[in-house]
Structure 1
Amino acid sequence: MKNVEKERVEIRMPKTIIKKLDQYQKENGLSTRTATILELLRKGLEK
C-alpha cells in the first residue's frame, strides 16, 4: 500500500471480538491487529 493516503480511525469493540481477532492474527501469521482488521475488512468487502 505504498503512496496511499491513510487516516487514523479509533474503534472500540467487545473483548470477545478482540480475542477472535488475536486468534485469527496468530493463525494467519499477520504482524499486527491493524493488518488483521484490514485483511478481514477487505475480505468482507469483496463479497
Structure 2
Amino acid sequence: MKDNKERVEIRMPKVILEKINNYQKENGITTRTAAILELIRKGL
C-alpha cells in the first residue's frame, strides 16, 4: 500500500514551537510531527 503523505516545511515563531514542544512532553507524544498533527486535527 502506498503512503499518501507529503512533506511540508513551515516556519513558525519560537514561542509557538515552545508551546508545541511542551504539549508533546506533557502528553507523552513521541515526535514533534505527531504533536503538530494532533493539534491540527483537534483544531479542525
> Normalising to structure 1: TM-score of the pair?
0.86
The corresponding residue for 2:7 is: 8
Runs (5+) with no aligned partner, structure 1: none
Give the ranges of 4+ consecutive aligned residues of structure 1 lying more than 2 Å apart after TM superposition: none
> Normalising to structure 2: TM-score of the pair?
0.91
The corresponding residue for 1:27 is: 26
Q: Percent identity?
A: 68
CA RMSD of aligned residues (A): 1.5
Runs (5+) with no aligned partner, structure 2: none
